[in-house]
Amino acid sequence: MKRITFIILVIGLAILSACASDTETTSQGKTSSTNKENEEQEQPSEGEKPDEDKLTEEDAGEEVVEDDPPVEAQYTISENWSLIPLEEGINEDIVLLTIDDAPDENAVEMASTLKELDAGAIFFVNGHFIDTPEEEEMLKEIHEMGFMIGNHTFSHATLPEISEEEQKEEIISLSDRIEEIIGERPLFFRAPHGANTDYAIKVAEEEGMTVMNWTYGYDYFQPYMDAEKLAEAMISGEGPEVDVPYSLLKPGANLLMHDREWTAEALPRIVEGLREKGYEMLDPALIETK
Ligand SMILES: [Zn+2]
């Protein structure tokens, strides 16, 4: 009898924790809508193919030193999280695409779409999305398609609400995990909900990461959970249904999107629409890092 009770208890706990993560994902969107979060983006460049070899070799337990040719930084992140050229003569009409809360259901498809469109992006990932072999595979795929992988904390924690020790664990354990899977540590950090703490920023920077929030995004607001409306909002920069009746689209805009069905569907239109407006999708490898 005791054993049965114990088993029921364990099953109950498992269900509870599953619910907890659903809530977390959902509540992120809500919190995001009140906090303007910023996130960074990275770009899928064709030049990163060697990573595949590296991954394979690492799987075999060998240490491989990668020699990617160094890319000279052309942009830096401003105080309001937009991307600005480091020198005159560099195109300022760029936007950065970033995809948060990956890799959940749509990230691989989103990466394929972006690769086809030759548009760079940063995928900010969470540890709870890369804890099964299938999910690890998705992360590898995204990385191997040439996209930059960023740290978005292990469990999508709201950093100001947890202890310093926990913040450190949220950040470093995820970088460790990412390195185990793709063979390199992330270069960018974005706090869930854009809620940074001085301590978390210090930890991220000590870890060699550059911190970024974002300048605008609409896919986590209820009225824009629709591909057509989202595409229009992202391309115009305007979100009249969430009190943004003016355009936030400016040179260097840092665009926040998420691993969501409607965003995946809107993505080709968003990229094409921004290009029609004269914006280039920035290769995240051109962003200055710490
Ligand atoms: Zn998030």
pLDDT in tens, 2-54: 454 454 444 444 444 443 343 333 333 333 333 344 444 444 344 444 444 44
Q: How would you classify the pairing of strands 210-211 and 83-85? A: unpaired
Res. 65 pLDDT band, cuts 50 70 90:
low
pLDDT in tens, 89-114: 999 999 999 999 999 999 999 999 99
CA of 232 to the centre of ligand 1 (A): 22
Q: In the chain, what percentage of residues exceed pLDDT 70?
A: 76
pLDDT attached to residue 172: 98
CA of 99 to the centre of ligand 1 (A): 9
CA of 102 to the centre of ligand 1 (A): 8
CA of 72 to the centre of ligand 1 (A): 29
Average confidence (pLDDT) over 168-183:
98
* pLDDT higher at 280 or 46: 280
CA of 192 to the centre of ligand 1 (A): 5
pLDDT attached to residue 71: 84
CA of 41 to the centre of ligand 1 (A): 13
* pLDDT higher at 55 or 266: 266
CA of 88 to the centre of ligand 1 (A): 34
CA of 53 to the centre of ligand 1 (A): 30
Res. 64 pLDDT band, cuts 50 70 90:
low
CA of 150 to the centre of ligand 1 (A): 11
Neighbours of ion ligand 1 (CB under 5 A): 28, 100-101, 192
CA of 65 to the centre of ligand 1 (A): 32
CA of 59 to the centre of ligand 1 (A): 29
CA of 173 to the centre of ligand 1 (A): 17
pLDDT in tens, 178-222: 999 999 999 999 999 999 999 999 999 999 999 999 999 999 999
Q: What is the pTM of this model?
A: 0.78
CA of 107 to the centre of ligand 1 (A): 13
Res. 290 pLDDT band, cuts 50 70 90:
confident
CA of 220 to the centre of ligand 1 (A): 10
pLDDT in tens, 112-158: 999 999 999 999 999 999 999 999 999 999 999 999 999 999 999 99
pLDDT in tens, 267-276: 999 999 999 9
